[in-house]
């Protein structure tokens, strides 16, 4: 699988040269990657879904876990090229140099305060670089779609599908 898809063009070349490292790693995703990515998403979910997640601790934890499962399923449905892009972004966010490149700090995301994470997202969101805008919108869409795909998260919406078909298979 080709992995050099998220970072493209002159920006990638310049950054890699400046850091003296090759940011492109052609390894395939493995099961341990998935575990790391789960940890990474568990950092982002409370930020993106602040105000939507339940406030009661164990309900909140259940909702986060349910969303993490849905994210895994959502990623599995994406075409190869989009999966590769996403994995490259996640890999970058899990490495010190990648973090420095994308957020200006080497502090692991797990060790950051919510305010610092919001600052990073706002930096991406308002950047003049399409690559960072894409990182923001890509994570946003994936997390929002995965959370609201679950019927158990529709309580606040007062949305429920009609009940005339009770025996439909999934």
Partner 1 sequence: MAIIDPIINGLSSGWQHIDASALEKDRHFEADVVIVGTGAGGGTAAEILSQAGLKVIMIEGGALKSSTHFDMEERHAYPNLYQQAAALKTADKGIGIFQGRTVGGSTTINWTTSIRTPEPTLNFWQQAKSVQGLSATELQPWFEKMEQRLNIEQWQYEANRNNAALRQGCEKLGWEYTVIKRNVKGCWNTGYCGMGCPVNAKQSMLLTTIPSALDNGATLISRAKVVKLEHKGDKVVGLTAQAMTEGVKPTALTITFSAKHYILSAGAIHTPTILMRSNTPDPHKQLGKTFLHPSLLSGAMFSEQINGHSGAPQSIYSDEFVWQDGAAGELGYKLEVAPVHPVLIASKTIGYGVSHAQLMANFNQMQVTIALIRDGFNEQSPGGQVRLTDDSFALDYPLTEGFWRGAKRAFLSMAELQFAAGAKKVLPMHDGLNFFDSWNDAKQGINQLDLGLIKTIVASAHVMGGCAMGEDKTQAMVNSYGHSHYLENLSVMDGSVFPTSLGANPQLSIYGIVARNATALAQKLTQSS
- The two tokens of residue 5 are 């898809």
- 128 in Cβ contact with 30 (< 8 Å): no
Would you tell me the crossing angle of helices 80-94 and 96-103 to the nearest 10 degrees? 100
Among the listed ranges 25-33, 90-98, 101-109, 139-147, the one in contact with partner 1 (CB under 8 A) is: 139-147
| Least CB distance to partner 1 at residue 92 (A) | 17
164 is an interface residue for partner 1 by CB under 8 A: yes
Applying CB under 8 A, what is the total number of residues that bind partner 1?
47
DSSP-derived secondary structure letter, 83: H
116 is an interface residue for partner 1 by CB under 8 A: no
Residue 18 or 152: the one with the smaller Cβ distance to partner 1 is 152
Work out which of 34, 39, 50, 59 binds partner 1, going by CB under 8 A. Answer: 50
Work out which of 38, 54, 74, 108 binds partner 1, going by CB under 8 A. Answer: 74
Residue that is written with structure tokens 């080497």 in the block: 106
17 is an interface residue for partner 1 by CB under 8 A: no
Q: Is 45 left (phi over 0), alpha (psi -120 to 50) or beta?
A: alpha
């Amino acid at each position: 699988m080709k992995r050099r898809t998220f970072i493209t063009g002159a920006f990638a070349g310049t950054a890699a040269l400046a850091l003296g490292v090759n940011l492109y790693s052609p390894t395939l995703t493995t099961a341990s990657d998935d575990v790391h990515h789960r940890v990474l998403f568990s950092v982002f979910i409370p930020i993106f879904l602040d105000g939507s997640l339940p406030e009661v601790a164990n309900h909140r934890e259940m909702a986060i876990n349910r969303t993490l499962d849905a994210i895994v399923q959502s990623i599995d449905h994406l075409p190869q090229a989009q999966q590769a892009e996403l994995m490259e972004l996640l890999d970058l966010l899990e490495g010190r140099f990648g973090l420095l490149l994308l957020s200006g700090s080497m502090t692991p995301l797990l060790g950051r305060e919510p305010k610092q994470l919001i600052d990073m997202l706002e930096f991406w969101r308002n950047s003049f670089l399409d690559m960072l805008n894409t990182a923001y919108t890509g994570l946003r869409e994936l997390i929002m779609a995965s959370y609201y795909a679950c019927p158990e998260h529709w309580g606040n919406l007062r949305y429920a599908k009609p009940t005339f078909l009770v025996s439909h298979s999934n």
